A and B are shown apart, each in its own frame.
Chain A
């Protein structure tokens, strides 16, 4: 099996981010970057697929120098080699421009199956995986919580989570699977893995090498973020004062019914 996984480096959920002066991006300094958690599920599923069916796992990521650290983490978890789309021209793209670059890079791999996170936890757009599948002409299942690939590597059965329920779809490979929490428990990069990761190939590809000059990054974007809105200040909570627990409970029920209107 040729297995590919596309990953994104995002700020750690613990990081307190600040909005820049222009108001359209976050301030990069002092931010701790990690692999987007949904991408961890994707890497894990790619590795499990390889362990079951054999083959090779190629990890692909787009972004500046710092992304190499996240790529190395994926290699330390067990991926075999990597493609890093690194060039100033890739920066400032929208979902479409990024997907175009990733799809072109995937073409150099000709994967039987591609794994991706269902969304990246920074932009939360849930666009890239879907667009990559579209551009690369792959079957796709999004928000997948369980996956079974046939032993012959020709078809797969994916369980999708949907609001309050689920759905099982059968796919013809090659296909793209976007991964949801619950699909698996991602492994940790191991010490032997970290030692090996240093020697694994990380190939850099420029837009020209993908035949995409002038079509990626800001130049290829059709949508542009103009403003980031800070989180609204949370209102202080309300304390219920009552003589007895019974009275407090009754008051809580009254408030839930009359003010919050959730009962």
Chain B
């Protein structure tokens, strides 16, 4: 459980090779705003994962009821495809990919994760067969770029309570959406928007259930803003999404079933847990690279006639980085295990998210410190990792919000 097996090591090597050879040289132009999606497609193609995903998901589709749930047929599985299938679903392999991308560009990893993971995973998990075929598979294979739209100008941490975006039932059985979403990753370029809105049944009930809807670029009334100018994650385009009387058919309600407020809330919570579980792997990538670069630099940089690694103040920083590095690895391994065993643990996930994001910021900042003035220069790369790392304390629930959730869950558990 605490060591990568031979196959996982090979997979990690493959991801690393690609990211160092192909992604690293592209970071400057991506940070200047070049859309990253073609590169992502090339990446999945290079790993043979796009075709494999498509084949595997098509197969799943054929064994699925109209509600998107697997049919209960105990079919015998072919051996060869089987191993690849389980690899495609192996959470550790996804984490390794996220880690390797994040070593080079956490921003690129964010855009990738939001499109395939958040938007794609949501449709795969909650969609009907028709929705999985039309949106889920193209999102997971990156044929379509996805976004996941929850935050609003007036609603961040209090995502549900303060949400203003509404979906009103229309006479033809569809919905009319109005509102503004903000901080939406991939917003400027997304083809598909998995978007949360309060369902207004027109019955005057103030307790409106939050539902997810699938919107597409090109729908009348849907528009997106200019990419935001950000501190970090500059290679992940972020923008507002505007909805003005966007009329969608009933079949674009994710899952195609209206729910009562409690069930809807639980559903969305589950997705938040999923969103958070990807963050530690991103942090691991940042920490691993900062630690390696710092050690290398400290060995090479000579001041006062000796390598700066000879100074205890530098050694202590490196030891602290090592502790974070090992702890974060262990946490990622446990999250992978929990996902594989089907034992999600939301309190642990939230706590891990908090710890890893803080550790990533601390390690990246210390890494700049060890690099001295050079660390402040783009060329040495750690400044990008530090800029990007800070976002991980904000997105997927701020540090405080995750901590509060840990206590809420633990308080229930320990009664």
Contacts and interface: CB of A to CB of B under 8 A. Distances in A.
Main SS of chain B's interface residues? Answer: helix
Contacts of B93: 191
B17 interface: yes
B87 interface: yes
B14 A195 contact: no
Contacts of A192: 48, 52, 84
Contacts of A157: none
A182 B129 CA distance: 47
B9 to A, nearest CB: 8
Contact of B47 (A72, A73, A190): A190
A76 interface: yes
Contacts of A69: 6, 10
Main SS of chain A's interface residues? Answer: helix
Nearest to B11: A194
Contacts of B14: 76, 188-191, 194
Nearest to A197: B10
B49 A191 contact: yes
Interface residues of A, number: 16
A196 interface: yes
Contacts of A189: 10, 13-14
Interface string A180-203: 000000011111111111100000
Interface string A65-105: 00001001100100000000000000000000000000000
Nearest to A73: B10
B80 interface: yes
Contacts of A72: 6, 10
Nearest to A196: B80
Contact of B87 (A73, A187, A188, A191): A191
Q: Which of B47, B52, B80, B88 has the most CB of A within 10 A?
A: B47
A234 to B, nearest CB: 13
Interface in B1-28: 6-7, 10-11, 13-14, 17-18
Contacts of A191: 11, 14, 47-49, 52, 84, 87-88, 93
Closest 10 CB pairs of A and B: A190-B48, A192-B48, A195-B83, A188-B46, A189-B14, A194-B10, A195-B84, A191-B47, A192-B84, A191-B49
